[in-house]
Structure 1
Amino acid sequence: MRSLGFIVFVILFLFVLDAYLWWSLKKTLYMGWYRWLIPLSSLILLTSFYFVFKRAGEGGHNAIYSLNFIVGLTFGIVIAKILMVTVFFVEDVVRVALYVGEQFSSRGHTELVGRRAFVRNLSLAVASVPLAGTLWGITRGKYHYMTNRMDLYFEDLPEAFDGFKVIQFTDFHAGTFDHPSEVARGLELLQKEEGDVIVFTGDAVNNRSEELEPFVYMWKRLHAKYGKFSILGNHDYGHYISWDSETDRIENLQKLFDYQKEAGFDLLRNQHRVIEKEGSKLALIGVENWGNPPFPQYGDLDKAMDGVPADCFKILLSHDPDHWEKVRQHPEKIGLTLSGHTHGAQFGVDIPGWKWSPIKYRYKRWLGLYDEDERYLYVNRGFGFLGFPGRVGMRPEISVFTLRKGARKSI
């Protein structure tokens, strides 16, 4: 019922958006046959999303490039239309304000100021920016991988682990990939970092375990001296599609476990593993997904830490960064927590001194490194993509952490 309400809202929103834009452009621009592109783009977007969800519901698990392209392009057009309407709306507010002011003036002028061609041209120029960005994002940006390397200093890190390298990737979302060779190239970049451990922090698939099957051999090629570890994300449980029975959903989840095991990943489900090096110990702790509603809360940190030696340096794998509110208050100090989930909204700005994305209004900690209570949280922007089949300003990421023993450095 909630989904139906959302669909109705989207349809009404697009109808109002298109009607307002049609009316606004009609005032300053001769509109030939191309005026029909305004509602047609919305219709194509809705239709393409319908086929995406229909395929998922019927068991389709391999993305189609043409369908991804159409979804991405029409989504970009809708964003462009929203910006155009915003420009026109601001002008209309000014026009109405001037008109009302004239009614109370001694001049008694009663005509509403006409729409200006300058504003129309400005709206078209503003709209071209997201449209160009969208085209880049759906063709190149989604596979424009970046490797983010950083040294993290800890006073309580055992000497033996000074220089220990942890590689993180997250939010694979196998079912959305439409170019497997590009995915392979990204994973090759990861392997070239030669990490001591490789960790995957959840959302291997969108819904169905079969999505991962074509990529298992790629995951299998990854190698790290002390092993490969993974956890589950909210999408991995299969809660976002309908199943014939709960048994079918559980079987789907078990198959995902089997694929990860075949790929050589040690899946931590509220568990930990202790890595020993030269007599010192480091604990990798993995919890199941724990997020604020509506996301599932299967994570049990106390259970995962049960039996962890007191003298261990601790690293936590937890998919959702909202979990960190509880993690940093835990009586056992966890030096580093690695998360994903947000994708950086797959759209935004991340330059030295400034990072912004609309996702920041949903998550307090949504991208990069956070240092609170002498604990670090790192939120990776994700390896794959979901929903919008592209990335604009938020490149897919491989994170490489080199642990250093020493005084903490400000970030």
Structure 2
Amino acid sequence: MLRFIIPIVLVFILELYTFFSIRTLTSNKFILIGFWVFTVLVYGIFFYQLTMTQRDNRFNLATGYAIAMLLTLTVPKLFVFAILFIEDIFRFFVGLFNYFQQAGTVSEALPGRRKFISQLALGIAAIPFSGFLYGVFKGRYNYRVIKHTMFFDDLPAAFDGYKLTQISDIHAGSFDNKEKIEYAVDLINEQKSDVILFTGDIVNAVAEEMHPWIDTFKRMKAKDGLYSVLGNHDYGFYAYETKAEIQENHKKIEKVHEAIGFNLLQNDKKTIERNGEKLHILGVENWGSSSHFPKKGSLKQVTENIENGEFNVLLSHDPSHFDYEKMDMPKDKNGKDIIRPTDIVDESNIINFEKKIQLTLAGHTHGMQFGIEIPFLNFKWSPVKYRYPRWAGLYEEAGKYLHVNRGFGVLAFPGRVGIWPEITVIELKKREKVA
């Protein structure tokens, strides 16, 4: 019971602070009553949609917009609270000093809240409020093409200048604007890459979410084909509980990939040959450090017939596969590891794997759809970095590279603030040897 009471009290304090800041500026009863009516309405819609989602055991777009309304309303109020709370502390000590200095009453000693502070707090709160509104209505479809040129000593000469386009985390169940999606697909085709690679999470929960969008995505074309892997959301665990339902959804997911034109790689590979030289596209099933997601990817299986020294591009949905140190297995009530029959538990991370994987492409994090990026300062920050240290862009360790795509679609919050949807283009170049 206490875990419900504490959040309710904290939310009530947050709303009170915001209300008093508004009351400092106006005494209009319609505005003050309207504040509470609108606040209660937003919280009511959110909890109603959350209940519906839990009842149906499936996330829907209506719940996403309820989350967006709540965040757009609540996050700016945190700024109001922070500013006014600091002022209240200052007022308390000033009042205490005046009380003992002047030996007056508390009401006389304690200075009133300054109108300027309330204006300042509400003005600053308007910035995140505007940001969230933009993120929902514009930011989620603000597609950016991010290009990288990467140099490798061991790239076969025949693949010098080879171009890869990566997209990730489509999450078709969150789409609601066909024109914008068609624009993004055209943008993908405009890159004229040799191959298009998709790194998982084609839906939020069920295969049917992608059905209205198959004709749009099947327009994607690349000379050497389209290749894909599964993400944690593609296995049906978020919508179904029985093994039969999960397997049926899996079959439907496979058909969706086939209908689009993807070659779905499930611990499998595709070898592309040019002038007698090879480049391997490897695709593993989902594997990451979290205990909440399936661990079905196998590096051993996907590299079984690959010789050391050959060039490999790996598709692995979860970036934690690159460098995890200790598997976070789920525990039973006695503290023992729970190993699902499908879990593969004898995996090395990609960095330490016995065969060299030069480039790994991942997604999964979405950059949390919220953060700050200043490219010319090479600065980026998102709260997701505290869960996934490698959360967006290029990383290198031990001569092996990881690229984490910021995602094509959205999940839960139907918007993006500062972290825009990404289409990645990577050009592979052979590094010239210095004489």
Partner of 2:363: 340
Letter of the 2:71 counterpart: F
Deviations 1:202-244 (A, max 9, x none): 1100001100111112222111111111111111112223x36
Alpha-carbon separation, structure 1, partners of 2:8 and 2:275 = 62
Deviations 1:320-341 (A, max 9, x none): 1111102112122211111111
Alpha-carbon separation, structure 1, partners of 2:196 and 2:124 = 42
Deviations 1:86-143 (A, max 9, x none): 111221222234345567x655565333222111011110111011112211111111
Q: Equivalent residue of 2:187, what SS?
A: helix
Alignment of 1:11-410 (within 5 A): 13-23=10-20, 25-26=22-23, 29-30=26-27, 32-35=29-32, 36-38=34-36, 40-41=38-39, 43-48=41-46, 50-51=48-49, 54=52, 58=56, 63=61, 71-100=67-96, 107-108=102-103, 110=106, 111-241=109-239, 243=240, 245-296=242-293, 297-325=295-323, 326-352=349-375, 353=377, 354-406=379-431
Runs of at least 5 residues in structure 1 that lack an aligned partner in the other structure: none
Deviation at 1:152, TM superposition (A): 0.5
Residues 57 and 228 of structure 1, relative CA distance in 2, 3 Å threshold: farther
Q: Equivalent residue of 2:148, what SS?
A: strand
Letter of the 1:406 counterpart: R
Q: Equivalent residue of 1:221, what SS?
A: coil
Residues 141 and 277 of structure 1, relative CA distance in 2, 3 Å threshold: same
Alpha-carbon separation, structure 2, partners of 1:71 and 1:61 = 11
After TM superposition, the score normalised by the length of structure 1 is 0.89
CA contact (8 A) 1:328 1:375 kept: yes
Deviations 1:353-401 (A, max 9, x none): 2111222222111111112211111111111111111112211110000
Residues 58 and 342 of structure 1, relative CA distance in 2, 3 Å threshold: same
CA contact (8 A) 1:28 1:116 kept: no
Residues 281 and 42 of structure 1, relative CA distance in 2, 3 Å threshold: farther
After TM superposition, the score normalised by the length of structure 2 is 0.84
Alpha-carbon separation, structure 2, partners of 1:101 and 1:379 = 55
Residues 207 and 69 of structure 1, relative CA distance in 2, 3 Å threshold: closer
Q: Equivalent residue of 1:369, what SS?
A: strand
Deviation at 1:28, TM superposition (A): 5.9
Runs of at least 5 residues in structure 2 that lack an aligned partner in the other structure: 324-348
Deviation at 1:24, TM superposition (A): 5.0
Alpha-carbon separation, structure 2, partners of 1:161 and 1:6 = 58
Alpha-carbon separation, structure 1, partners of 2:59 and 2:219 = 22
Alpha-carbon separation, structure 2, partners of 1:209 and 1:163 = 36
CA contact (8 A) 2:17 2:80 kept: no
Q: Equivalent residue of 2:215, what SS?
A: helix
CA contact (8 A) 1:273 1:283 kept: yes
Residues 86 and 277 of structure 1, relative CA distance in 2, 3 Å threshold: same
Residues 244 and 149 of structure 1, relative CA distance in 2, 3 Å threshold: closer
Deviation at 1:85, TM superposition (A): 1.0
CA contact (8 A) 1:61 1:208 kept: no
Deviations 1:149-179 (A, max 9, x none): 1111001101011011110000100000110
Residues 294 and 80 of structure 1, relative CA distance in 2, 3 Å threshold: farther
My pick for the range that moved more, 347-356 or 188-197, is: 347-356
Percent of aligned pairs with the same amino acid: 38
Alpha-carbon separation, structure 1, partners of 2:159 and 2:419 = 31
- Alignment RMSD, CA only? 2.7
Residues 98 and 331 of structure 1, relative CA distance in 2, 3 Å threshold: farther
Letter of the 1:114 counterpart: G
